[in-house]
Amino acid sequence: ELKVEQNPLFLSMQEGKNYTIYCNYSTTSDRLYWYRQDPGKSLESLFVLLSNGAVKQEGRLMASLDTKARLSTLHITAAVHDLSATYFCLPSGAGSYQLTFGKGTKLSVIP
Amino acid sequence: GAVVSQHPSWVICKSGTSVKIECRSLDFQATTMFWYRQFPKQSLMLMATSNEGSKATYEQGVEKDKFLINHASLTLSTLTVTSAHPEDSSFYICSGLTGGVYYGYTFGSGTRLTVV
């Protein structure tokens, strides 16, 4: 059974600061997705990481994947209020659609 | 890009009635559709996986007779919550599987169900 641990679950950070969200998973997965969810809304795709060592960046967000360590990170640089949302990771692949989301990280960026 | 259109966005129904939620894949054929439920302040929980033309596969603990899934065409999958009760109130989200080797998941906009 795939287990996905995401931490922290809650993150309150000041504008302009940097922080990293971690996603650990228990079984082999060859790709990982990051999503953003705003209150009352569905999921918005942020990144798909397709291989070990993959790094993707979009604006103030950068995601990386280490399949050997079964770890993905979502790094936030110089946070702004618009980044306030809940972020979910979803490991997937390895021959099956293992669809277990992390519990989510609720990010609040305060002035 | 691929889009999944989900309707209705929200619905309020009385206890004991049934509610149907539709998800249509636009610009792609969703041979596989996933249905999730999300309770407030929680993560998404996979309820079932449906493949076009075959019976859905339900996750453990999900009542197949209560949550009827139909995936009769490559572009339409429906979830019917039968004999709804207040505890069924939740946010329901569908997701279509897109692509081949570089597959991904395209999410519908979600349906907020409130049973009174």
Other beta carbons less than 10 A from residue B77's beta carbon: 31
Are A84 and A14 in contact by the 8 Å Cβ rule? The answer is no
The pLDDT of residue A61: 98
pLDDT at B30 (0 to 100): 87
Residue A94 in this model has a pLDDT that exceeds 60: no
- In this prediction, residues B33-48 reach a mean pLDDT of 95
pLDDT for the residue numbered B45: 95
Which tens digits make up the pLDDT trace of B59-73? 999 999 999 999 989
Pairwise CB contact (< 8 Å): B44 & A41: no
Average pLDDT over residues B30-35: 92
Taking a contact as any Cβ pair under 8 Å apart, which residues of chain B between 60 and 89 contact chain A? none
- Spatial separation of the C-alpha atoms in residues B2 and B94, rounded to whole Å: 14
A26: alpha, beta or left, given left = phi > 0 and alpha = psi -120 to 50? alpha
**B:2-61 residues touching chain A, CB 8 A cutoff:** 6, 32, 34, 42-44, 46, 49
Contact list in B for residue A88 (CB cut-off 8 A) is 43-44
Q: pLDDT at position B27, please? A: 86
CB contact under 8 A, A88 and B44: yes
Q: Over the stretch A6-44, which tens digit does the pLDDT of each residue have?
A: 999 999 999 999 999 999 999 888 789 999 999 999 999
Mean of all residue pLDDT scores within chain A? 93
pLDDT value of position A95: 56
Q: Nearest 5°: CA angle at A100, between B3 and B53?
A: 55
Q: Check residue A96 and give its pLDDT.
A: 59
pLDDT at A44: 95
Residue B38: the pLDDT is 97
**Alpha-carbon dihedral sign for residues B41, B44, B45, B48:** positive
Nearest C-alpha of chain A: how many angstroms from B43? 5
| pLDDT > 70? residue A65 | yes
> Chain B interface, mutation test: which of A43, A44, A108, most B Cβ atoms within 10 Å?
A43
Least confident of A4-13, A57-66, B46-55: B46-55
Asked if A51 is an interface residue toward chain B (Cβ–Cβ < 8 A), one would say no
Q: Which of B23, B41, B107 to probe by mutation at the A interface, max A CB count within 10 Å? A: B107
pLDDT in tens, B71-89: 989 999 999 999 999 999 9
pLDDT confidence tier of residue B103, bands split at 50, 70 and 90: confident
pLDDT of residue A97 exceeding 90: no
Cis upstream peptide for A8 (omega within 30°)? yes
pLDDT at B98: 84
